[in-house]
Structure 1
Amino acid sequence: MERPLLLYIFLFYWNFLNGKKLNTLFTVEAPRLLYTVEHGNNVTLECTFPVNGKLNLQDLSVTWEKKDELKKVVYVLLKGEEDFKSQHSDFKGRIKLLKENLSLGQSLLQITDVKLGDAGFYHCIIGYGGADYKTIHLKVKAPYRTITQRVVSTGPNEWKLTCQSKGYPGAEVIWQNRDCEDLTDKANTSSEIGRDQLYYVTSTLTIKSRIDEVFYCIFWNKELQENTSLILHIADSADGILQTENRRSVGATLIAAAFVGSVLLFMLCIRKAKANKENRTPVLSLSMAKFSKDKDTYDCRDASFEDRELKYLQIEKT
């Protein structure tokens, strides 16, 4: 692995010119070499170094840099003074070093509002009577947390159902009815990459349906091995409201007994969708995620819904 030689040379001559002996046994450590954080959240990277008594900030140099095609300076502390002039524009206003922890031999770098572009390898470089560094890997994930919907009645007993969500990487959208019948080939799914590098996925299913029918809109993110789903229930009501349920967290007070059967079938259908995926032609024109061949293949009627979570929302038809 390439060492930041220029900084090491600088630290050597800086200590030499100040009459200090370079400690060749100086070692930087990292309690964790891998961090995983969700897009938009905060993360604190850490490396440690020996202080050996009371810390003298005038002798301390701390540099964090991100190793891309070209190295990006994330943070610099030199002789106790912060230097933001050399900081890369990608990190402006989002970086803080917790200086109160330096006396404990901890270099804690806080990154706020994490972007997908923040993912990569970071060098934590410390100079304090010696010089050393550690490499820390930051991964950024963006699950398809929220699915929004739009419903349009296009004729007698005919509906246009649209599901939209954003995340990373691209997800496949699977449509099914209450009998676990795969309707994906009847849907139109497209994807765009926004300025934030997230995938904006839209899927529309136009279908004839009787009253009191249930449909499942399932976003499958293979890399994260995660399903995020929406249950759509065409209810028998005078105002023609379409009820939708977004599977995320338990909302016990909102769970109606009338939907219990739909929930059970929904969980069973997810299993069947995974089992049947390898036999279906992908819908998306982009390189979307496919189910791996080693996914479970038992029939949807035999699957369990243990540890699944549901949150119920009600959205009016437009």
Structure 2
Amino acid sequence: MKCLLYVLIVWGQALLSDAFDVAVPKATLIGIHSQSIVLGCSFTVNGSSSLEHMIITWHRTESNEVVHSYYYGKDQLSQQSEQYSGRTSLFPEEFKHGNVSLKLERVRAADAGQYMCFVSSQKGRSKGTISLRFAAYYKDPQLLVKLQPPSVTFILKSQGYPGASVLWYCVEDKNVLLKPNISLIEGEDGLYSLQIILQVDNTKTYCNHVVEIQNCLVNQTVTRKFSLLLPQESVQEQNKCKNYLIGLTCCILLLIAIIVLLSVIYKQQHH
């Protein structure tokens, strides 16, 4: 009750003023996986405004979860949502300049959404809403090559967010895009596991491959270049070996058939 009465008194005082305003960025902010971000919020400073009765509240508009709150001259985090515990802070030394921005650390996928900054003081009260999107830079892809004559399979794996666009081509002919199979699987951490698979005939591997993974949200392009050159002699030898094995198998089968036939004839002659 005491806290509620305190809030009502401050709000009542705020109604007496119409020169109080809160400003937040209009552009959507991008939070990067595991990094920190500052959600900007400022209020109008009029003369020697007392900070003693200031109330600052940050919460999610979708769920009304408390992200961070400040009153009675200190942080009040007993009602803070568990997912933000230990990850938020304000800048008290900046309050006198009207800065009530929120620092959010170790950004994760679940942090994406709408945030409301509410400020109340003896001079007035107001609020503003900020949009936050989540992104993760794609890692340098790991390359796996499977030789399965008469074809070669290239497999590249990476991880990031959101879904990326993929370009795969040969340096020798950039205008012809290769068409790999692409799959995205969302993990428990909200990141996408990206897998890119391309299968080609090993007689067509004379190509300097270039794979570009583009994350447009953060203007990132990860490029992987590689080559797999199989000499034509090797291909011919593989074909010769294959033909030899086929011929050898046929000869063995023919020899077995002859032996069986001779055995049958021999038994007939001795009966």
How does the TM-score come out when normalised to structure 2? 0.70
Q: 2:37 maps to what in 1?
A: 43
> Which residue does 2:8 correspond to in 1?
12
What is residue 208 of structure 2 aligned with on the other side? 214
Distance change (3 Å), C-alpha of 1:159 and 1:24? same
Q: Deviations over 1:103-123 (max 9, x none)?
A: 222102101121222222211
Q: Which moved more, 1:159-168 or 1:85-94?
A: 159-168
Give the distance between the partners of 1:27 and 1:135, measured in 2 at CA. Answer: 16
Q: Tell me, what secondary structure is at the counterpart of 2:110?
A: helix
| Cα 1:11–1:121 shift into 2, 3 Å | same
From 231, 235, 239, the equivalent of 2:225 is: 231
Q: CA deviation at 1:179?
A: 2.3
Query: How far off its partner does 1:65 sit?
Result: 0.9
Amino acid at match of 1:128: S
Q: In structure 2, what is the Cα distance between the partners aligned to 1:57 and 1:76? A: 15
TM-score (normalizing by structure 1):
0.61
- Of the candidates 59, 62, 66, which is equivalent to residue 65 of structure 1? 59
Query: Structure 1 residues 131 and 21 mapped into 2: Cα distance closer, same or farther (>3 Å)?
Result: closer
**Residue equivalent to 2:80:** 87
* Same amino acid, percent of matched pairs: 24
Aligned partner of 2:118 in structure 1 is 125
Deviations 1:180-225 (A, max 9, x none): 33331xx333221011222211012232156763112233456667
Query: How far apart, in 1, do the equivalents of 2:14 and 2:104 lie?
Result: 34
Partner of 1:101: 94
What secondary structure does 2:44 align onto? coil
- Compare the two structures and name the one with the higher helix fraction: 2
Conserved 8 A contact 1:28-1:134: no
Aligned partners of 1:169 and 1:15: how far apart in 2? 42
Quickly say closer, same or farther: Cα 1:223–1:49, change in 2 above 3 A. closer
Cα distance in 1 for partners of 2:218, 2:68 equals 31
Quick one: which amino acid aligns to residue 234 of structure 1? L
Look up the equivalent residue of 2:158 and give its one-letter code. Answer: S
* 1:14 to 1:172, Cα distance in 2 relative to 1, 3 A: closer
- Offset of residue 15 of structure 1: 5.8
Q: CA RMSD in A?
A: 3.1
Which residue identity is paired with 1:229?
Answer: T
Asked if structure 2 preserves the Cα contact closer than 8 Å seen for 1:30 and 1:136, the reply is no
Amino acid in the other structure paired with 1:108: S
Q: Cα offset for 1:75? A: 0.4
Structure 1, unmatched stretches of 5+, are 1-6, 238-318
Aligned to 1:202: 195
Equivalenced residues, count = 224
The CA distance in 1 between the partners of 2:183 and 2:24, in whole Å, is: 42
Alignment CA distance shift 1:44-1:224 (3 Å): closer
Conservation of the 8 A alpha-carbon contact between 1:95 and 1:110? yes
The 1:171–1:51 alpha-carbon spacing in structure 2 relative to 1, beyond 3 Å, is: closer
27 and 52 in structure 1: CA distance in 2 versus 1, 3 angstrom threshold? closer
Partner SS, residue 100 of structure 1: helix
Q: CA deviation at 1:146?
A: 2.7
- Residue of structure 2 equivalent to 1:240: none
Partner of residue 178, structure 2: 183
| Structure 2: gaps (5+ residues) | 232-271
Q: Which has more radius of gyration? A: 2
C-alpha deviation, 1:160, in angstroms: 2.4
Asked if structure 2 preserves the Cα contact closer than 8 Å seen for 1:97 and 1:107, the reply is: yes
